[in-house]
Structure formats: structure tokens, C-alpha cells
Structure 1
Amino acid sequence: MRPIDLAREHGLSAQAVRNYEDAGILPPTERSETGYRRYTPLHAQALRAFLALRGGHGHQQAMAIMHATNRGDTESAYRLIDAAHVALLAERDTRTEVATALGVLSATTPTPVDGRPLTVGELARRIGVHPATLRTWETAGILRPARERATGYRHYGPDCVRDAEIARQLRRGGYLLHQVARFIESLREAGGTDALSAFLDSWQDRLTMRSRNLLTGAAQLDTYLTMLDKTQQGWPAT
């Protein structure tokens, strides 16, 4: 097989296939008497495995998995794959926490803050907590009050007041500080509770797609490993 034979299957250039070989993504090839590379079905499957792995793991991680596989270090390859699944599970749990937190919030919209921002004491009285609690929430990343340059006093604008009221509701619901902080950060990124709901749907779609991509990559890698085993046992690379 020529480089172009492998390239056509994936819409790549022949040079891209040669580059993948030079990068160690494909196993070494034999050369003809005239110096041309001779690819086999084993190389074709290695390319399929890499491109499928790249969809779930990203380029660098997929390349590391192929490097480990091609040097016979399957333990390292499996560890890289397992780590990706662990990270995906953690992200899935975070998304679930945020979605659940959104669901337990009161349907009542917080009363808008008119006029000047609130001081730490005024905000504490408004939501019924101790001022020290607000400082703890700030340390946890839940609140981001502005500061007066001259005095260093904290000022809590409308967004801060909203975040504080949400934090109070979630804390009363038993959420830990780091869970509240994750929810508030997601809320900021989305731009409000309505936008957050749409963001959560999109986030779920991304998680589902990544799970499918990881499965596809694993299936292609498994086929490649089976072919490697047969080649090492003296079977033809078909």
C-alpha cells in the first residue's frame, strides 16, 4: 500500500500519512529497493485508531497512546485511556451538580438592588447571614465584591447580591462550598439562569459526544491491538 492509499480513506494528503509515521503514530514501515514506503493493513488500522482516538482524547493524548502501543507498553496506553474516562466522569458529575443546583433554586426572582451597592453589613442583613460568612464565600470564589481604593471596603453590586442570595439558598439545601462555587461560576459563564439552562443542555450534548468518541477510539484501538498480536505471532498483516 502507498501513502495515498491510506490517505484517501480519511481525506488526508499523502504527506500527512508520512508525517504521522515520522511522528511514531504508525509503526515503522519497510522500504522498497527504490526507497518507497510499503504500508500494510496494519498501518491502515493504526491510522484509523489514531484518528478515532483523537476525537475523544485530543491530538497530544491520542499520539501518546499510539506511541505507548507501538513500543509495546500497553500498560501506559491503558492508563492514559483510563485517565480520560476518569476526567470525563468528574466533568459529568460536575454538570449534574450544577443542573441539580439550578433545579432546587427558588422560582422567586431576587429583589433587584436599586441605587448604590451594598456594604458587607447591609448584604449580610439582607440575606440573613453573618458578615464573616460573606468573607468566607469570597475566599471560596462564590462572591467577587468590588473594593474602594481608599479604604479597601467591599461593595456588593447587583450581580454580587444575586450570587449571595443563590449561595444562601444552596447552602440551606446542603450544598458544600466548592459545589456552590462551581454553580456560580457556571452561572457567570452562561450569563444568567435562563442561559445556564441552555448551557447545561449543550454541555450534556458535548459529554455524550465525547463518550461516543472515546468508545469509537477504544474499538479502533482494540482492532489494532488484535492485529499487532497476530503480527507478533507470525500471522500476515491482513
Structure 2
Amino acid sequence: MRTTDVARESGYSAQQVRDLERLGVIPPAVRSDNGYRSYAPLHVCALRAYRGLAEAVGPVEARRLLAELRTATVTEAASAVDEVHARLARERAEVLRAQRALQGIRAEEDGRDDDFMTITQLAEALGVRSSTLRFWEEEGLVRPERVTTLRARRYGPAAIRAARVVVALRAGGYGIPAVREVMGALDGLDGLEDARRILRGRLDRIAARSVALLRAGADLAAVVTAADATRAAPGSPQ
């Protein structure tokens, strides 16, 4: 197959095919005496597998994983692909846990008096360190009151609610900048719904990554079995 043939079958441009070969995503093409590349159908499978992997785990990780699969045994390759599925499942579980935490916030608030908590009490209630609450304060995520001449922190209902949302979002895999964006919306009436909407969006993205990985399955299997057949061929290194 020529470069243009591989590009047409894989959905990449001819230059992208050459670039991905240079990056090691696909095995080197056979070169004729005049320097022209000659590819095999397996190169198409590797390129399509790369597209699905890149959507699932990102291009850098996809390149590393494909290089590993081309030299791994079937057992090793299956384990590596299973780990990608497991990673996506863990991310999904984190977001679902965050959703459940958000659902419980309103119920807890409805039964709460206008009491206050110290930083130690709130840290214990949330299962985090006091230093974590101080860091969130520095980042503008949770704003306690300062009372007494010692400037001790006191967390009222609004601050307690904000801290619970931060815990939920962090459990859902969100970094500080993304959490800060959500917390900025919590001052409005729809703040909790905004947080839920962001978590739903993350679930949708995880689902899309899972589907991309499933779509790449047959091509990944072709890459793995071809590598295993090459190893089993007479005269090949074991």
C-alpha cells in the first residue's frame, strides 16, 4: 500500500501518516530501492487503533501504549488494554461519588440550624486535613469568618456548604481551576445545579472515551495478534 492508500483507509492525511510513523505509532514502512514507502494493512489497523486510544487516554499515552502492544505477548497486551478500561471505570466511579455527595448537600442543609464549625470540626466532618481547608481558603474556594483577637477561623452555613461542594468536585477528579469556576457560580441560585451540570458533562466525556476505546478494539486485536504471530514465526527472536 502507498502512503496515500493508507491515508485514505485510516482517515489521516499522507503527512500525518508519515509523522505518526516517525513518532513510532506504526511500524516503519518497507522502503523500495527508490525510497518509496510500502505499507501493509496492519499499518492501517495501527493507525485506527491509535485514533481510538488517543481519544480514550490522550495522544502521548496512546503512543506509549501502542509501542508496548507491538512487543508484548497476548497476555501482556490484554492486561494493558484492560487497565485502560479499568482506569475509565475508576474515573466514572469518582464522578458518580461526587454526584451523590452533591445530592446529599441540600438534604443536609435543610435539616441544619445556623450553627458554626471550627476548622478542626469541619476538617473532621469532611475527612480532610485542616491544612487542606486553609489551602482552599487561599485559593478563594471556601471563605470562613475570622473571629476573636486571635483571628480564628469560623465556618458558617455558607462556608460549610461551599466546602462540601469542593470535596465533591475534587472527588470527581476536578483540578483547582475547574473547582474555582464552579464555586464562582455557587453564589447564584443555581449554583448546585451548575456543579451537577459540570459533573454530568464529565460523565459524558468519559462515556465518549469508553466508546472510542471500544471502537478501537478490533484494530488493537489485529496489532496484538500480528505481533504474537511475528514472535512465533520460525527464526524470530523469542
Same fold by TM (over 0.5)?
Answer: yes
Distance 1:74 1:233, change over 3 A: closer
CA deviations over 1:169-218 (Å, ceiling 9, x no partner): x9xxxxxx966964797875432202112222212211211211222233
Provide the rounded CA distance (Å) in 1 between the counterparts of 2:123 and 2:99: 26
CA contact (8 A) 2:170 2:179 kept: no
Distance 1:22 1:152, change over 3 A: farther
Q: Point out 4+ residue stretches in structure 1 off by more than 6 angstroms.
A: 183-187
- 1:25 — aligned with what? 25
Q: Shift of the alpha carbon at 1:225?
A: 2.1
Provide the rounded CA distance (Å) in 2 between the counterparts of 1:233 and 1:181: 48
Alignment-mate amino acid for residue 139 of structure 1: S
Provide the rounded CA distance (Å) in 2 between the counterparts of 1:15 and 1:205: 32
- 1:99 — aligned with what? 99
Q: How does 1:47-86 map to 2 (within 5 A)?
A: 47-72=47-72, 77-78=77-78, 80-86=80-86
Provide the rounded CA distance (Å) in 1 between the counterparts of 2:119 and 2:21: 62
Q: How does 1:207-218 map to 2 (within 5 A)?
A: 207-218=206-217
Q: Specify which of 133, 158, 163 is matched with residue 159 of structure 2.
A: 163
The question of 1:139 aligning with 2:131 is answered: yes
Provide the rounded CA distance (Å) in 2 between the counterparts of 1:217 and 1:206: 17
Q: Shift of the alpha carbon at 1:79?
A: 5.2
Distance 1:54 1:167, change over 3 A: closer
Provide the rounded CA distance (Å) in 1 between the counterparts of 2:117 and 2:216: 51
| C-alpha RMSD of the superposition | 3.8
- 1:120 — aligned with what? none
Percent of aligned positions that are identical: 29
Alignment-mate amino acid for residue 211 of structure 1: S
Taking structure 2 as the reference length, what is the TM-score of the superposition? Answer: 0.68
CA contact (8 A) 1:55 1:210 kept: yes
CA contact (8 A) 2:4 2:14 kept: yes
- 1:127 — aligned with what? 115
What is the DSSP-based 3-state SS (H/G/I as helix, E as strand, rest coil) of the residue aligned with 1:219? helix
Provide the rounded CA distance (Å) in 1 between the counterparts of 2:7 and 2:104: 52
CA contact (8 A) 1:55 1:213 kept: yes
Distance 1:152 1:22, change over 3 A: farther
Provide the rounded CA distance (Å) in 2 between the counterparts of 1:13 and 1:181: 39
Distance 1:131 1:205, change over 3 A: closer
Q: Shift of the alpha carbon at 1:17?
A: 0.9
Provide the rounded CA distance (Å) in 2 between the counterparts of 1:147 and 1:46: 58
CA contact (8 A) 1:56 1:213 kept: yes
Provide the rounded CA distance (Å) in 2 between the counterparts of 1:161 and 1:217: 49
Which residues of structure 1 form unaligned runs of 5+? 111-124, 171-176
CA contact (8 A) 2:56 2:213 kept: yes
What is the DSSP-based 3-state SS (H/G/I as helix, E as strand, rest coil) of the residue aligned with 1:105? helix
Provide the rounded CA distance (Å) in 1 between the counterparts of 2:20 and 2:12: 11
Provide the rounded CA distance (Å) in 1 between the counterparts of 2:230 and 2:71: 14
CA deviations over 1:42-84 (Å, ceiling 9, x no partner): 1121111112211111101110111112334666655543443
Provide the rounded CA distance (Å) in 1 between the counterparts of 2:227 and 2:26: 12
What is the DSSP-based 3-state SS (H/G/I as helix, E as strand, rest coil) of the residue aligned with 2:33? coil
- 2:202 — aligned with what? 203
Alignment-mate amino acid for residue 12 of structure 1: Y
- 2:236 — aligned with what? none
- 2:188 — aligned with what? none
Which residues of structure 2 form unaligned runs of 5+? 186-190, 234-238
